[in-house]
Amino acid sequence: MIKDLRWRIGLIVTVIALSVWSFYPPDQKVKLGLDLKGGVHLVLQVNRNDPLRAETNLTVERLRDALDTANIRYTKIEPTTLANGQTSPTEFRAEGIQDDATFRDKATEIAASTFSRSSGAGGTYTFTMLPNVANQLGDEAVTQAIQTIERRVNELGVAEPIVTRYGGADQILVQLPGVDDVQRAKELISSTALLEFRLVEQGPFGTREDALKSFGGNLPSDTEVLPGRTDTSTGSPGSGYYAVKKAAVVTGNELRSATQAMDQYSRPAVDFTLKQDAAVRFGSFTSTNVGKPLGIVLDKRVMSAPTLRDRITDRGQITGITREEMADLIITLKSGALPATLTYLEERTVGPSLGQDSIRAGVTASLGGLALVVLFMIVYYKLTGLNAVLSIVVNLLILLGLMAYFRATMTLPGIAGFILTIGMGVDSNVLIFERIKEELAGGRTVRAAVNAGFDRVWWTIVDTHVSSLIAALLLLQFGTGPIRGFAVTLIIGLLSNVFTAVFVSRTAFELVLSRYRQQQAMSI
């Protein structure tokens, strides 16, 4: 018996020591959520038209290339212009088609799975995106935006950010605990970071009008004018305007890596490598365009336009950026490009002073609840109530230690989970103590009553905890934000409570009973 008690006590002391080591000092090891630490609360809206417009433009380009390859003449193929002057995200028109039969074959091959087609007079066709395709692209854009934002804020170093759907189908909730530079966080989240390599037709020009004049005012359908990188001192394009091909040779999605570097003048730069398929395509493109300028386009701005001196395969460098732009660019390139632009619907900053008030109120409520529980247990169960107090205190220490070890975030609902854990611990001890009282009333000895009390209540405790655990797991799976914080605390508290209410409490009883060979009475 003594040997059995020694290893039990040793295990309990070890668990307590490891728990205290895990969360001490708490201000450094216990992560606080937005409601306790302060930070930024943002609600963003994804522009679902962006991926639809991108799909429409891509289909237009593919159809033009196919017709040019097949030598089929046409007047124009371009997205439909709306009344507000913008192009339609889901519709495009083909006009002046000379070979209807061949055109229909090509159109069916390229656009039949995504667009419906109707014909008009004079070789005119209208293509409209299928509704199920439009819905799918919009939903995928929101999902990809959530994943991209998560990667970006993780790279930013934000502890336990919350990024999830919110409200409408195209809204995203972002909570960043402990963020000080709100503006930088917003810019990093919403920057599209779409990197493209495009062939430069002409440029740079001083103004956009000069670029258009160089084509006689008739810009080819496969070419567009883009500004150069912004001059940080004036806010205007620092390197003029360029006429570049709309079709990109490779994009940022085909990057294998992006790292910090220095250019030949020891200025900040970004070195990148391409994936194998993109490298093969890029090598073929550069070998046939030696002597021409290649535009490195980031978010519709030409960052630089170096002349191709030789064949390039899988490596390159982006120059002409500041040190902070370099750090942010690497984060955005690694996380991938956003599939659509974002609009900020709501911005709220939670100050750390409000969080301290919440912590103070939560700690006061927890200590108050614990004090009332201790008072009740001692008054009602006399000295045996001290056993319950011991198991509850050990339970709370283990709960704090596990939350710190698993890097779970403590939130205001999490504090509510702490208080509920105290109640669950008391409930388990009440079941055990009442069973012991029944056994003593039945004429059993103290030792036999204690053993029977724990043995016969064990499965009842397991049943209650398993049912509560199932509910907590459902909250964790389907809940968001504060609900998940409550669920995490409750799950850890339930698991630690089984250990303390049964193992720790029984060890305390046996330690007291081991001092007396025949104990005739019990203070309960």
Q: What secondary structure letter does DSSP report for 76? A: E
107-126 average pLDDT score: 87
CA angle 422/424/425 to nearest 5° reads 65
Three-state SS at 359: helix
Please identify, in words, the CATH class of the domain defined by 2-37+351-513. mainly alpha
In this prediction, residue 353 carries a pLDDT of: 56
Q: What is the pLDDT of residues 150-167, one digit of tens each?
A: 877 776 666 567 788 887
Domains 40-46+135-346 and 49-130 belong to one CATH topology: yes
Structural domain boundaries in the chain:
2-37+351-513, 40-46+135-346, 49-130
213 class by beta-carbon count within 10 Å (0-12 exposed, 13-18 middle, 19+ buried): exposed
Considering only 68-77, 226-235, 276-285, 508-517, which range has the smallest mean pLDDT?
226-235
CA distance 173 to 206: 42
Using the structure block, give the residue that is written with the tokens 């196919």: 66
Determine the pLDDT at residue 519. Answer: 56
Q: What's the fold here for domain 40-46+135-346? A: Gyrase A; domain 2 (3.30.1360)
DSSP-assigned letter for residue 113: T
User: Can you read off the two tokens belonging to residue 70?
Assistant: 């097949």
Q: How many CB atoms are closer than 10 A to CB 396?
A: 21
Asked if 74 contacts 94 with a C-beta cutoff of 8 angstroms, the reply is yes
| pLDDT surpasses 50 at 290 | yes
What is the C-alpha to C-alpha distance for residues 464 and 424, in angstroms, rounded to an integer? Answer: 9
How many angstroms separate the CA atoms of 410 and 396, rounded?
Answer: 14
Question: How far apart (Å, rounded) are the C-alpha atoms in residues 416 and 35?
Answer: 13
Q: One-letter amino acid identity for 223?
A: T
In this prediction, residues 471-475 reach a mean pLDDT of 86
Q: Which residues contact 376 (CB under 8 A, 6 or more apart)?
A: 385
Q: Which two tokens stand for residue 54?
A: 């991108």
> For residue 410, which amino acid is it?
M
Query: ω before 26 within 30° of 0 (cis)?
Result: no
pLDDT on residue 231 = 57
Q: Radius of gyration over alpha carbons of the chain, in Å?
A: 34
Across 19-37, average pLDDT: 78
Quick one: tokens of 205?
């020009």
Query: Cis bond leading into 339, ω under 30°?
Result: no
CATH of domain 49-130: 3.30.1360
Averaged pLDDT for residues 171-188 = 78
pLDDT of residue 126: 92
Q: What pLDDT is stored for residue 235 in this prediction?
A: 47
For the chain, the first-to-last Cα distance in angstroms comes to: 24
* pTM given for the model: 0.56
pLDDT band at 193 (very low <50, low <70, confident <90, very high): low
What single string gives the DSSP state of each residue in 184-253? HHHHHHH----EEEEEEEEEEESSHHHHHHTTTT---TTEEEEEB-B-TTTSSBTT-EEEEESS-SEEGG
